[in-house]
Amino acid sequence: MSYIDFGGGGFPLLALHGHMNEGLFAQELAGALAGEYRVIALDQRGHGESERPVSYDNERYVDDALAVLDHLGIDETVLLGHSLGGVVAYRLAARRPERVRALIIEDIGAVVNDDLSFAGQWPRRAPTKAALIAALGRLGPVFAYSMREYENGWGLPFIPEDMAVSQSHLNGEHWDDWLATDCPALLLHGMRSTCLSYEQAEEMAARRPNTKLVHLEAGHSIHFEAPDQFLEVIQSFMKSIRTEQ
């Protein structure tokens, strides 16, 4: 497993990215929270610099996050998760509530049903970064920052075909896990998201105590599409839970 420790001597925050991403997605967040929080971002299995695993079972993702916390000697943390990472975050909290001070969930529901098989059509390698961005269509700019030059050309920090497999393990109903805890939670919903509906976001907030829901003018990747609002809302939430401590 690979992770990025952005440093800082404050209370720890573990950031968990979504499918087809990596720990670097939390770089701007770490900068915004520097001095108050120690932000650690995990490259989840099969992503970034972490090795390709035998299994993409979602329970293994939870095991990985716990293993990183244990490795770093962190007893309690704030968990931030986008998409896949959001489910891992609230499932970890359900399993080990004493390890989680608060949850920040970015645009993922308690019921998940998505299909990433389209990624299997992407090239494993391209001759240039520009060619790879073009091959990914509308998602090219989103993933441009994480593209790498390998010995045999430009590629992504994951195996595209693996993403559909991992998503198939993620799909399903997770209400029991979402409702298992009552620590402070911030649920961020992108108003143009195709992954989390307005109605489900409202239901999640209504059914779970101590949950603040914020609708933002963005799609699924709020941290990319509306970075200023994303950081502003998180900073406000972090101040509110610090006041309550």
pLDDT tens for the chain, 245 residues: list them. Answer: 999 999 877 899 999 999 999 999 999 999 999 888 999 999 999 999 999 999 999 999 999 999 999 999 999 999 999 999 999 999 999 999 999 999 999 999 999 999 999 999 999 999 999 999 999 998 899 889 999 999 999 999 999 999 999 999 999 999 999 999 999 999 999 999 999 999 999 999 999 999 999 999 999 999 999 999 999 999 999 999 875 55
The structural domain count of the chain equals 1
Residue 69 lies in a domain: yes
Which pLDDT score, from 0 to 100, does residue 244 have?
Answer: 56
pTM of the model: 0.95
Secondary structure (3-state) at 234: helix
The phi, psi pair for 90, rounded to 5°, reads -75, -20
* Cα angle value 79/94/189 (rounded, 5°): 50
How far apart (Å, rounded) are the C-alpha atoms in residues 132 and 141? Answer: 10
Query: Residue 208 has which token pair?
Result: 């779970």
Residue 151 lies in a domain: no
Residue 206 lies in a domain: yes
Residue 165 lies in a domain: no
Which pLDDT score, from 0 to 100, does residue 142 have?
Answer: 84
For the chain, the straight-line distance linking the first and the last C-alpha, in angstroms and rounded, comes to: 32
Residue span of the structural domain in which 182 resides: 2-111+172-244
Residue 125 lies in a domain: no
Using alpha carbons, list the distances in angstroms from residue 108 to 53, 218, 219: 24, 13, 11
Strands (E) located in the chain: 2-5, 11-16, 37-43, 77-82, 100-106, 111-112, 148-150, 153-155, 172-173, 185-190, 211-216
Residue 131 lies in a domain: no
Residue 139 lies in a domain: no
Which pLDDT score, from 0 to 100, does residue 77 have?
Answer: 97
Residue-wise burial string across 5-16, b where 16 or more C-beta atoms lie within 10 A, e elsewhere:
ebebeebbbbbb
Residue-by-residue DSSP string for 84-108: HHHHHHHHHHHH-GGGEEEEEEES-
Which pLDDT score, from 0 to 100, does residue 34 have?
Answer: 87
Residue 96 lies in a domain: yes
CATH number of the domain where residue 24 is located? 3.40.50.1820
148: left (phi over 0), alpha (psi -120 to 50) or beta: beta
